Structure 1
Amino acid sequence: KMTERFDCHYCKESLFGKKYILREESPYCVKCYESLYSNTCEECKKPIGCDCKDLSYKDRHWHETCFHCFQCKNSLVDKPFAAKEEHLLCTECYSNEYSSKCNECKKTIMPGTRKMEYKGNSWHETCFICHRCQQPIGTKSFIPKDNQNFCVPCYEKQFAMQCVQCKKAITTGGVTYREQPWHKECFVCTGCKKQLSGQRFTSRDEFAYCLSCFCNLYAKKCAGCTNPISGLGGTKYISFEERQWHNDCFNCKKCSLSLVGRGFLTERDDILCPECGKDI
């Protein structure tokens, strides 16, 4: 009775009584498997055999005994390490050679630990603190001043101007009126409460008003058109006997001739040019 053969998939030698490795359901003798599929050690350049541990990092492989620090040669198996220019280094050697120093405590910032960086300087996360409250800033916003860093609440308390209206800190923008600071959204018309920032406005009794509210509340009315005369922005007007007119409205009552710069006569409340008023 014929016995079914059990041969190496590559060299075809019998595998009965021999050690073999299965790959994709095909058996290989140890020699063929290692020559075909074993990884090459980065350190000694020899194949990493089936009876050895294969340690890998970023598609590179080492024997367990070859996986050591490039400088001190101590084993890196089950230990933290760092890579620099294709070389593996233990944390101590890496720190001594390459790690940055904390700007606050001047100690090495070890690989694998969080660090904060700002303008070319580095800090341990626990050393990067607000100068005022001494609390770690972490990933929160901060404001530098005079080579010191402040969290935003502390900076506002110590340095920021405070709005005259709401008494809160002004961190961006703002408006100055009568040498006092305001938030843009707080600087509003006393009458209608609309924001005045970027708008023309005037004041009365130290209160700010938009032109519309000021005219409605305080401006005299034109004796001609009855609209308010603001007198702002170079608006020209005529005043006579406690009455005022817009320049464009100071016309003869009868013929509508402009009386600006001309002589005129009055009849009761009417203003007349000399020609229309000659019979008075």
Structure 2
Amino acid sequence: MVLDTKLSSMLDNLQSDLHRQGVTTQAKGICAACNKPIIGHVLTAMGRPWHPEHFVCAHCSTEMGTKNFFEHNGQPYCEKDYYMLFSPQCAFCQGPIIDKVVTALEKTWHPEHFLCAACGNNFGEEGFHEKEGKPYCHSCFLEVVSFLCAGCSTPILDNYIAAINAYWHPHCFVCRECFVPFGNGSFFEHNGLPYCEMHYHAHCGSLCAGCHKPIAGRCISAMGHKFHPEHFVCAFCLKQLNKGMFKERNDKPYCHTCCLKLFGPSVV
């Protein structure tokens, strides 16, 4: 600023001296930067005249002279600052994009930097898949990004069911024994797998040996099996038995009376 003031003062004095000596000077224009007449060398750019020393980058103030420059909103910028300030930025390297540009995922990229976020390879004809704002090739999307179904161990690309700390294709979330879907949405879990009520109790050993249905309340354990109390009956007369008050014959329970009648006193 001090240099500009001194230079302006020198030019004013020079013009005044020339006038006193009878030498007529004619301004070559008004400098677009300092708004003062240009007596000596003039630089014309952006349709306006400039003192050569006043034609500088609007950002870094570097004199541009005959260097390449760019115009933005009526201001001159050197190449470096123009690209840095106004060119699209690469989402990968954060550098300015000067030549070709790839626009994807609402961002801009150098073509050589638009790569799979997992393997770093270029995208082929299959294109790319997006997950959380990052691009993935088809292979990596399947193997790394997408959920694997706990039922069939293949990637889940669409709807899924989250249950038992895992993800499932809807058609894979079925009883692991009979493969019937859970119609009402309820299921039973055993060792990390879903089961219908019947097969859950079968795995847990809580099916009634009499009616082969689940035991939800009280039960009687006898002969290595479990029974609803009302289903633990004499195999012959069907009278309800009490634990400890029966006889076993050929893996079947009998009351004392029927056991004596059918098998004789030797087994009583």
Q: One fold, TM greater than 0.5?
A: no
Higher helix share: 2
> Structure 2-normalised TM-score?
0.40
> Structure 1-normalised TM-score?
0.39
Higher strand share: 1
